[in-house]
Chains A and B, each alone.
Chain A
Amino acid sequence: MYVAVKGGETAIDAAHALLAERRRGDPAQPELSLAQIREQLALAVDRVMAEGALYDPDLAALAIKQARGDLIEAIFLLRAYRTTLPRLVASEPIDTGHMRIARRISATFKDLPGGQILGPTFDYTHRLLDFALAAESDAARPARQSLPAVPAEPMPRVAEILGGEGLIEEAPDAAGAPGDITRAPLSYPASRDLRLQALARGDEGFLLAMSYSTQRGYGHTHPFAAEIRHGRVAVEVVPPELGFAVEIGEIAVTECQMVNQFKGNEAAPPQFTGGYGLTFGGAERKAMAMALADRALRATELGEEISAPAQDQEFMLSHADNVEASGFVQHLKLPHYVDFQSELDLLRRLRKEWETRREAAE
């Protein structure tokens, strides 16, 4: 039961004014620009775009500034903004095989065509705080040597190398437009295209923890990171006025292909099976977690016993979205005065009855 209660307006206005003041922080410090956030907190921007499910680095930077660096709040802001925009046209599937590679590594083949390209990675850093950065100067930045021009080199996917021997399942293709969880609610069991869409916008922390659980024995998997690649890909649309595909810009993505051993069954020979991760920006941890989660969620399809939460579609997909989760957890802040009053009355009555019974027994 809800009862309309008025009286908070002045306090709410004052709270919002205070929020704006605290957001700005010490006015003696220069204000952050969106370009600074976009350029220097680029991985925060990537996360907000990925889980906000909207690629626009400037909007994500604005959301981060407005949310005072609370990334889940920023993701919520981006999701809310997204609902105000019309969807004008669908794009052609991106071709990650033609990615302009910024990073590409394989944990399964040391020498593979195209090589191991480390790119701008935190791996191999010592995780020691770098006080040179505290000095706020570009002195810590090594001068880049002039580098020779490098021809574009083909970077075949590791899956294609395994596919040559028939040692990995074939990537399934299907006609027709893929399902869309933003237009139709999920129902279970959900097909893999829908699951991947839900995982792509899923909370990185949730997916990280759930994928970790599969490694620790909750749903047995023994995966290899066949390939992780990060870089920029072209986006193409087919404008209805033109009727042919045109490039409209580039986006940065990270792709992860995990491979797992599969014993085979009556229909399929022993071979590797895959888990796939694809996210906006340089979200490598997220892409890996997504690939592990994708593989765990294929349990039914591959005839594996469902024994762990990470293999349970409904558990995984109903709880991966941090905007939904945050909304339901935080709704507990809303007034429940009447609900609580009835609980209180009930408890007092039960208490009285309990005391009466005890006295009677004595």
Chain B
Amino acid sequence: MAALSRAEEGLLEAAWSALAPPPEYRLLRPVEIGMTLLRGRIGGTGQPFNFGEATLTRAAVALATGEQGFAYLLGRHPRRAELAAVFHALLQREESRDRVEARVIRPVEAAYAAAVSADRAATAATRVDFSTLVRGDG
């Protein structure tokens, strides 16, 4: 579900269009845009406290074959959430699991890993390399 929550709308739409025939599904409830209460911990590790909210979109679907799929993702993205929920349901079907893994999950994970790696390398270049100047004969 982490990968599905990260998947961009374009990728989900492309993967959806590639499904032939598209699976039938219905919404278990209307796709909703709302908020989640964000929490931190005092000192980073202590007692939780609320420090704000974030927008959140959620979707719940059921395939005609019965499997249910859910999506929760940050931001206001109803179409993305609906498709993510459908793919979540399809992951639970033996017949479609490999396709979803190959077309959605693995590409999203690869793109995320590449972005994280580039980010980490750029950050690491700003690490301070202390050198100590020795003065006098000691």
Chain A interface (Cβ < 8 Å from any Cβ of B): 49-50, 53-56, 58-59, 82, 85-94, 96-97, 100-103, 110-111, 115-120, 144-145, 147-150, 152, 157, 159-160, 170-174, 177-182, 192-194, 196-197, 200-201, 234-235, 237, 239, 241-242, 246-251, 253, 255, 257, 274, 276, 278-280
Contact = CB atoms under 8 A, between A and B. Distances in A.
B54 A55 contact: yes
Given A117-B124, A117-B126, A200-B52, A93 B34 contact: no
A246 B72 contact: yes
A89 B36 contact: yes
B1 to A, nearest CB: 4
Number of chain B interface residues as a range:
35 or more
A65 to B, nearest CB: 17
Given A111-B130, A180-B50, A196-B49, A248 B74 contact: yes
Contacts of A100: 116, 119-120
Interface in B53-112: 53-56, 58, 60, 68, 70, 72-76
27 contacts: A53-B52, A54-B54, A59-B76, A86-B34, A88-B36, A89-B36, A89-B37, A89-B72, A91-B39, A93-B39, A115-B128, A117-B123, A157-B45, A160-B45, A172-B46, A180-B37, A182-B53, A193-B50, A201-B52, A235-B54, A235-B74, A246-B1, A246-B72, A248-B5, A249-B74, A257-B43, A276-B43
Contacts of B46: 170-173
Contacts of A177: 48
Nearest to B55: A56
Given A86-B35, A200-B52, A274-B43, 11 more contacts: A55-B74, A94-B39, A97-B44, A115-B128, A147-B121, A150-B117, A150-B121, A171-B47, A172-B46, A180-B37, A237-B56
Interface of B: 1-2, 5-6, 32-56, 58, 60, 68, 70, 72-76, 116-128, 130
Most buried by B among A49, A171, A280: A171
A88 B127 CA distance: 40
B19 to A, nearest CB: 24
Contact of A257 (B44, B76, B120): B44
Contact of A247 (B5, B75, B127): B5
A88 B34 contact: yes
A50 B38 CA distance: 12
Given A148-B121, A239-B70, A276 B44 contact: yes
Contacts of A96: 40-41, 44
B11 to A, nearest CB: 15
Nearest to A197: B50
Given A54-B54, A115-B128, A93 B75 contact: no
Most buried by B among A100, A102, A193: A193
Contact of A235 (B36, B44, B119, B126): B36
Nearest to B125: A147
A107 to B, nearest CB: 13
A149 B117 contact: yes
A145 to B, nearest CB: 8
Nearest to A56: B55
Contacts of B33: 85
Contact of B128 (A56, A118, A147, A237): A118
Nearest to A235: B74
B52 A93 contact: no
A172 B50 contact: no
B5 A55 contact: no
A55 B38 contact: yes
A55 B47 contact: no
Contacts of A173: 46-47
A193 B47 contact: yes
A251 B51 CA distance: 13
B52 A55 contact: yes
Contacts of A103: 123, 126
A94 B51 CA distance: 10
Contacts of B74: 55, 235, 248-251
Contact of A237 (B68, B72, B123, B127): B72
Contacts of A248: 5, 36, 56, 72-74
A248 B48 CA distance: 19
Nearest to B129: A115
